[in-house]
Every structure is written in structure tokens, then in C-alpha cells.
Structure 1
């Protein structure tokens, strides 16, 4: 059961956290999230995961409120989407989050 986990600093106040488990070449669990540092604390901005046995994206505002978006994808496609989306849009998501909006 290979497990991979890493943290990538995108900027001094932004980082991407990636975690996944695979069995027999198939993703069985994953979390990919963008975190932004504000007020000395790291806060979730966007999190893709498969908790509760379905793929979804949680979008947070600076007050900690969450909007959940169901993603009708298999785990492999969702993991790829999560990495690509955060890599390509993290600056926009950070900006919206810091303004108090949902990314």
C-alpha cells in the first residue's frame, strides 16, 4: 500500500499539501489542499478529497465557512484535477480568500 505525502511551498504564505494512498496501482484515498498563512496561522482555502466515500471539493472563506462541491470523477481523475487546479490557480484562490470571498 504505497503512501505518498508532500508539502510544496508556493510562496511564503501559500502551500500545497498532497497525500494519497494507492493499492494495486489504483488510488484508494487522497487529499490535496491549498493552505494560506494569515494572522500567523495556516488555513485551508481549497481541499479536494474522497472522505465519506465520494469525491468533492471544499472551498473555504477566511471566516472558515465551507462550500462543498460534489465532483463526479473517479479517484485517479480527481487527484489529477486537484493537483492541476491548485498548481494553475493558487494565486487567484489566495487573493479571493484573503478578500473574504470563497475561492
Structure 2
């Protein structure tokens, strides 16, 4: 079994990043976390997280008031869910940050 972990900075100022973790057996992902974090008021805040905790792939959207919205993902494999999560967060992180800061 192999674990991979890395961080992708989304801005030159290093105020937005993706934290990525996956556990693989050969080319098959067994579990993963892809999380978008933003530095707001000098503190790293979790904004959106895709993961396989609780035994299923899902998306957690964190609200500024502490509420978390959990949405299940319906992909045939964790590999597909992982790929989708990475693409979504790279493409939409600005919108997620804006919604978090507005309290939406």
C-alpha cells in the first residue's frame, strides 16, 4: 500500500491551497482527501473537502458559522471521485471562497 500527500498552492500569495492525501494499492485509490483551504484573517480555514471518511465518497462544504453540508458523490470508483474532486476544486476555488466569505 502506498500513501501520497502533497499541497498545491493556487495563488502566488500562497493564500489558497489544496491539501491532497490518498492511499493506493497499485493504481486503485482506497481512500482519499482533497481539501480546499483559504487563509482568512491570518488563519487557515477549511472551505470544501472531498473525502472517503464514513465509508463513502462525499463532499463537505463548510460554512463560516461552523455548519457543514455533506453531499454524497455517486461515482463508480474512488479513482473517479478523486479525479472529479481535484478538477472541481482547481476550477471553482474562487467561487467557494467567495461563498464562504459571504456566509452562503
User: How far did 1:39 drift?
Assistant: 1.9
Unpaired runs of 5+ residues, structure 1, are: none
CA distance in 1, matches of 2:50, 2:66: 16
CA distance in 1, matches of 2:87, 2:38: 18
Q: TM-score, normalised by structure 2?
A: 0.91
Match for 1:85 among 84, 88, 91?
88
Are residue 2 (structure 1) and residue 5 (structure 2) matched?
no
| 4+ aligned runs moved over 6 Å, structure 1 | none
Question: RMSD over aligned Cα, in angstroms?
Answer: 1.0
User: How far did 1:93 drift?
Assistant: 0.8
User: How far did 1:76 drift?
Assistant: 0.5
SS in structure 2 of the partner of residue 95 of structure 1: helix
Please name the residue that 1:69 is paired with.
Answer: 71
Please name the residue that 1:36 is paired with.
Answer: 38
User: How far did 1:40 drift?
Assistant: 1.4
Aligned length: 101
Unpaired runs of 5+ residues, structure 2, are: none
User: How far did 1:24 drift?
Assistant: 2.7
CA offset digits 1:32-73 (Å, max 9, x no partner): 010011121111110000001101000011122100001111
Are residue 22 (structure 1) and residue 31 (structure 2) matched?
no
